[in-house]
Amino acid sequence: MLKQAIIQAGGKGTRLGKLTEQTPKPLVEVAGKSLLEYQLDWCRDHSLKEVCIVVNYLSERIEAFLEKKRKKYPGMQIRCVHEEQALGTAGILPYLSEELDDEFLLLYGDVLFDIDLDRMLGFHRAKKADASLVLHPNDHPYDSDLVVTDEDERVRAFLSKPHAEGLRYRNLVNAALYLLSKTIIEDIPKGEASDFGKDIFPKAVQKRKIYGYSTPEFLKDMGTPDRRDAVEKAVLSGKVKRRNLRCRQKAIFLDRDGVLNYDTDLIHRPEDFKLYPYTADALKRINASDYLSVITTNQSVIARNLTDIDGLREIHDKMETELGHEGAFVDAIYYCPHHPDGGFPGENAAFKKKCSCRKPSPGMIMQATERFHINLKKSWMIGDSERDIQAGKAAGVRTIGLKTGHGLKKSRTEPDLFFSNLTEAVNHILERPYEKLVEEVMYKLPEEGSGHILLLGGNSRTGKTHLSREIEWALEEEGISCFTIHLDDWILPKEERPADPDVFANFNFTQIQSDLSLILDGQRVELQGYRRHPDRPSVPVSYQYENQQVILVEGILALADAEWRKKAHLKIFTHCDRAVHEERIKTFYRWKGHTDDSIDQQYQQRLVNEYEVVDQMALHADILHSTG
């Protein structure tokens, strides 16, 4: 059992300015409590029994603080060791050698953190490491000390700041928390100032087993007033504690090509990789939230022998470097190098095999789930291909399709939600635009019985389908069964519509009325399904009501029939500003391959015989919800 920790608390903290003129850096307060107290609380909560605090600058203030706080830590031996001359972060250890166990922690006194020590200790012992360094991505890697690891997470090099111009790197920052085996002391010169990151570890990597323990948990130094303020904000919001991997995490899983970057097909050179202009901003929003950002990407370019693992790493280093310069990062990258089909000239036979990691299998999502203790029911998958959506559904996460990249144009698998690009998807996840409306719906629906009808109407592209999914999820969380009918499944194929159709003719409204009566009587109704894109095959659908508690009818014409309205317990109409609606319609039809001229002509035609007609149905709604 690990029981010892050393806290390096002797620095002056000059970058904190006035905050440390009369106060040692470990006693600077964050949300009403000193940094040292946070660290001691963490040591106590993780059952550490011995804490040695290395002091120098204003050491009497630290000793006085400890005297006041000793009763808070019964059973912990806390003592100070005076460092008469500055010996850096490592130089004191040879003098403490006889008192140290075979394994111990070393903490820097200017870092506020909350990590799951048991996970880190399990990693350290599984690797049989001489040293395990806590590593993490941050939003300023360009001015941080970086660490280079291999595929087995073994440390191979250190990249100290300042970095050479044009350097590409993985965003993996030394977080200044080390789990050390006593053997590392043999590499530290006695009586000399030395630093772990600059002097000891870079030399020791050749002969010692030094590993990087990468974690998304909260670890931030308080070297500047701005960083101290950011840390305080995270403490007050509860994010520091929530990010400890003892707590279940939420994640946004991201496909790479077509989601984060332009998909130019089988990208195998760094020069062919180009991020979308909005990617960094979208990722920054995720980074600031409670969600982890995890890339899961099929990379058959390795199996095809277009590049190798080192070549793929160069592409990802370019991506992480560019994101880092914009203040964004990803928490982890998982890739599948395999391809199931073999026998082609030039292929890399070692990677030509069936595997559990290649999407549509959920293997990469499940690897990340185990590593980061992820709650799949609270997580999302964002992708542009059918494989992405299938992998997400197989893992049990909510799925979002994008119109970028492949755009799900040929997909037979429907995502839960569908957006134009990553920005829209992330905004929806984080802003939860339907939250209050869903709460109102839940309040107004009857609590008991079955067959309660909820009608959800509104024009095309006004958010009906998104809202219906949010209602379904809310009902599911409350244990209420829901039977959803999507009226789009009754849209006639283009070749079967009248020459000058109106909205009722496009949907074969008479057939809808007849089929809904059959469905509510418990009979099965089978349909050919609606092709949302010209390249997409139609997927047959069937409806059979089985006495679910709520019947949700969603579609443009949901509020069109007087008899349905009489039967409904709640009627909702979604609406958006005309200019917003026009832009959404145009984006949708560009995705379908229409030219701008044909879109303009079609919009003007539909404005009269569909959009304005449907808007009149808002008069029948109990709830009018405006979007955009």
Q: Which of the residues are catalytic?
A: 255, 257
Alpha-carbon distances of 598 from 500, 587, 593, 602, 604, rounded to whole Å: 16, 13, 10, 6, 10
Q: What does the radius of gyration of the chain's CA atoms come to, in whole angstroms?
A: 29
Q: Distance between CA 122 and CA 583 in Å, rounded?
A: 53
> Phi/psi zone of residue 183: left (φ > 0), alpha (ψ -120 to 50 degrees), beta?
alpha
Q: Distance between CA 506 and CA 362 in Å, rounded?
A: 39
Strand 623-627: give its sheet, edge to edge.
Answer: 482-486, 550-554, 452-458, 570-576, 623-627
Q: Distance between CA 266 and CA 286 in Å, rounded?
A: 27
DSSP-derived secondary structure for 341-407: ----TT--GGGBS--SSSTTS-HHHHHHHHHHTB-GGG-EEEESSHHHHHHHHHHT-EEEEESSTTT
DSSP 271: G
For the stretch 94-98, contacts whose Cβ atoms lie closer than 8 Å and that sit 24 or more positions apart, written own/partner, are: 94/185, 94/188, 94/189, 94/190, 94/191, 95/190, 96/6, 96/52, 97/182, 97/185
Distance of CA 272 to the CA centre of its chain: 25
